[in-house]
Amino acid sequence: MADLDASTPRVFIARHGETEWTKNGRYTGSTELELTADGVKQVEGTASHLVGSRKLIDPARVVQVFVSPRKRAQQTFDILFKSSGVSLESDKVKLEENITEWDHGMYEGWLGSEIRASRKERGLDKDGEWSIWSDGCEDGESPEQVTKRLDNLIAKIRDIQRPHMNGEEPADVVVVAHGMSLRCFVKRWLGYPLDMPLALMLSPGAIGILSYLKHDIKQPAFFVGMSLPPL
């Protein structure tokens, strides 16, 4: 792997595999859903290519894994790391409430179209269409609440990685969570507000990569693309 890629600490973000509600676009927060058969295959495919000794996510270089407590995230973690000897019982692994999915409140299980129709019927959003990024969820979380807990997690990660910005010791971190919370995480990693119009895509079972420019803890960045270790 290129020296720049390997020596600067990285944060790998892993989205859980497909669930039934992922397939039909329902807002899924606290509801406990397992992965579909296709969701399992998605994560298995990612693991076979990217997780393992001398692969992109090398367990020997990972010092901490933060996993959302939701069942679908724990299942994804187990599949990603099952051949590496890292388990939920490992000292490296922490179930982390700060990275759980956005609490959708009364919108739990709804489609976006259903949310907007309900709000329109009740006389809301007269000045513009509802957006979770700026308006949050009724009886659920506001953008400010999500920002606060993600910033808490980012501070923990920066404390872990700060002493090793020039590769003094391996300091990679993995975060296993959800589509919405991870997109929020990326925005906060870069210092952007959640309503920043930054279009981000993260497929079920996919891996994203965050790091720092010029080995500088004050310059968080994300990889548009990076080199892979040789087979």
Whether residue 31 is annotated as binding a ligand: the answer is: no
- DSSP, collapsed to helix, strand or coil, labels residue 221 as strand
The active-site residue, picked from 16, 104, 164, 178, is 16
Tokens 């590769």 found at? 167
Whether residue 29 is annotated as binding a ligand: the answer is: yes
**H helix intervals, the chain:** 3-7, 20-24, 37-50, 71-81, 112-121, 132-135, 143-161, 179-189
Is 44 tagged catalytic? no
Cβ density class 104-125: b for 16+ within 10 Å, e for less: bbebbebeeeebbeebeeeeee
Is 49 tagged catalytic? no
β-strand pairing of 62-67 with 220-222: unpaired
The active-site residue, picked from 96, 101, 108, 141, is 101
Binding site, by residue number, is 28-29, 72
Binding site for substrate, by residue number, is 28-29, 72
Q: Tell me the catalytic residues.
A: 16, 101
